[in-house]
Structure 1
Amino acid sequence: MMAEKEVQLPILRSVYQDLTRSEQRIADYITSHADEIMDKTIPELARNTKSAEITISRFCKKLGFSGLQGLKIALAAELSSSGDDRFQDIHRGDSYEQVAGKIFGNIAEGMQDTLKILDYAAVERAINALVQARRVAVYGFGNSATVCRDIETRFLRFGMVVQAYDDISQQLTSASLLTAEDVVIAVSHSGSTMNLLKTVEVAKKSGAKIIVITSYAQSNLAKIGDIVLTGMGREVHYRSESVASRLIHMAITDVLYTGIAMQQPEQYQENIGKMRSVISATRE
């Protein structure tokens, strides 16, 4: 008998850690029996996963589908586009050429996953909010702090009042002084960092609009955010998922950066010209 093709929807990966045990059992079954799911009814799927029928319906809605049929359509699209591409983990005996090939391949797959789960209406709302903001505060810790610094460096080119903070005391001070005219970009792979949640809650009470960039759509941080942009990388044992997702999150911020530039092309070109002129003068 031919083994079942194991396929996992990107959206399943983005919410998996926030699913209940029963829902994770359903997700695992779908991953391992992707081809079978197309012919299954809700009662059959419930029986095979030892779940209640209402749990199957709630599971589908949690993933953003109206019901099982919507999930089947998304799964069919995933099956048709996946081809022979397989996620590749890194092993101790791999050559450096193999390591490089796997890392680059997995990054590319993670980018494609993100294209499938990114909410483009949310992207547009985020760009509009940033264009209209009086000032932008960017919060994150650890690997996410590098994304925050990149946002600060790049968005500064628009003449924005933007600053990145990776210290809890500075974050809380900044958050307490924000107003309804300000925007926060909070970056976190897990979306569960307690200090970041505390800071964002303070910023929310101050009236600021919260844009969240995270790997987990159902995380506590995502639930606080006004606008949530989700994207995650492929995990390997020698390279944590949070490190891979850092690159995905930077790519999402590149989309925001480009969107802002498209909204104000003349101002952007003028600012870039001024920046290059001043920087080139330091090289003479």
Structure 2
Amino acid sequence: MKNVLIRIQEYKGTASETEKGIIAWITEHPQEASECSIQGLAQETFSSPATLIRFCHKMGFKGFKEFQKSLLYELAIRKETDRKRFEDIKEEDSLEEIVDKVTYKTISSLENTRKLIDMQVLEKCVNLLIESNAVYLYGLGSSLLVARDAYLKWLRINKECFICDDVHAQYLQAMNMKKGSVAMIISYSGMTQEMITCAEIIRDKGLPIILISRLDDSPLTRLADYNLCVASTEVLIRHGAMSSRISQLNMIDILYTAYIRHNFEENMQQLKRTHIRKQESPES
């Protein structure tokens, strides 16, 4: 069966203005295009049945019916393929299926996180980081890895920041936070008891908390001043945080890049200054 959507995208560069309108509508409404009559499609694309038939011929189809049948088949195959890709990993999965499933879960998580971002909340968090004297980072497990990534990033641009790997040290860090500083807590579930304890200590001190967590009511979202929501294709009880970790890292990258934009020239100079050159291997 011939692939419709790829064919029309490949043809787009040499298409006429009318044909570009047809391609745009079919690309945006593939399911409707596979079901409506040639008269209906002509009306939607501001063309004519004769133009659509010529277009189908150019795409290598005998006529509109073959074009539509191929599109319907393609959409069904894509839907089934996507369904399989987003299924949980199974023991009998091939290596190729594992590659597809892990990759597409990550892509989906990033795309959904973009849709969840509240720009006003994000802007307030960036301004809070800019105005703060120091950033205190908190996290456990895979979230601690994300916190450490944030620590290394802000260290590059000489922003005072603190992180502890040991949870008891994190409690002490929370107790010792100074006025003018901001806490950033990373917890996908929003229910990690140790992070709740840290948040309660910080809250009692009257210091602001930025939380990176899922979009859900949780003990941590109720304690935080701002929640930067991340998406994930994982359930809460999972074998290992994968796509949720990527979403959290992506959020750190967004905050970091937005922070650099403030005093851009100064921050870029600082990045150049703190660049650590890799030692080249001596020639034999």
Q: Which moved more, 1:171-180 or 1:140-149?
A: 171-180
TM-score by length of 1: 0.65
Retained in 2: the 8 A contact 1:235–1:241? Answer: no
- TM-score (structure 2 length as normaliser): 0.65
Distance 1:206 1:89, change over 3 A: same
RMSD: 2.2
Tell me how far apart the structure 2 counterparts of residues 137 and 152 of structure 1 sit (CA, whole Å).
Answer: 9
Aligned to 1:163: 162
User: In the alignment, residue 264 of structure 1 is paired with which amino acid?
Assistant: N
Q: Which residue identity is paired with 1:182? A: S
Distance across 1 between alignment mates of 2:145 and 2:99: 22
Query: What are the equivalent positions in structure 2 for 1:50-129 lying under 5 Å apart?
Result: 84=79, 85-86=82-83, 87-129=86-128
Contact 1:175-1:206 within 8 A present in 2 as well: no
Change (3 A) 1:241 1:234: farther
Counterpart code for 2:105: N
Q: Percent identity, aligned pairs only?
A: 27
Which protein shows a greater Rg? 2
- List per-residue Cα deviations over 1:77-103 (Å, max 9, x = no partner): xxxxxx945433222111111101111
Query: What letter is aligned with 2:146?
Result: V
C-alpha change, 1:238 and 1:131, in structure 2 (3 Å) is: closer
Q: State the alpha-carbon separation in 1 of the partners of residues 278 and 139 from structure 2.
A: 34
Runs of 4+ in 1 over 4 A off after TM superposition: 236-239, 281-284
Measured in 2, the distance between the counterparts of 1:130 and 1:261 equals: 11
Report the counterpart of residue 212 of structure 2 in structure 1. Answer: 213
1:214 and 1:230 in contact (8 A); partners too: yes
In the alignment, is the contact (CA less than 8 A) between 2:156 and 2:270 conserved in 1? yes
Alpha-carbon deviations, 1:60-89, whole Å to 9, x = none? xxxxxxxxxxxxxxxxxxxxxxx9454332
Check the 8 A contact 2:116/2:231 in 1, yes or no. Answer: no
Unmatched runs of 5 consecutive residues or more in structure 1: 1-82
Match of 1:260 in 2: 259
- Give unmatched runs, 5+ long, in structure 2: 1-77
Could you list the per-position Cα deviations for residues 169-223 of structure 1 after superposition, in whole angstroms to 9, with x for gaps in the alignment? 2112111122340100000111111111111111122222100001243111011
Instruction: Note the C-alpha offset of 1:126.
Output: 0.8
Q: Which residue is equivalent to 1:225?
A: 224
Report if aligned partners of 1:213, 1:249 keep a CA contact under 8 Å in 2.
Answer: yes
CA-CA distance at 1:240 after TM superposition: 3.6
Q: Could you tell me how far 1:230 is from its partner in structure 2?
A: 1.0
1:89-142 alpha-carbon deviations (Å, 9 max, x no partner): 222111111101111011101111111112221111111101111111000111
SS of 1:235's equivalent in the other structure is: coil
- Larger relative contact order (CA 8 Å, sep ≥ 6): 1
CA distance in 1, matches of 2:279, 2:259: 28
Equivalent in the alignment of 2:248: 249
Match of 2:143 in 1: 144
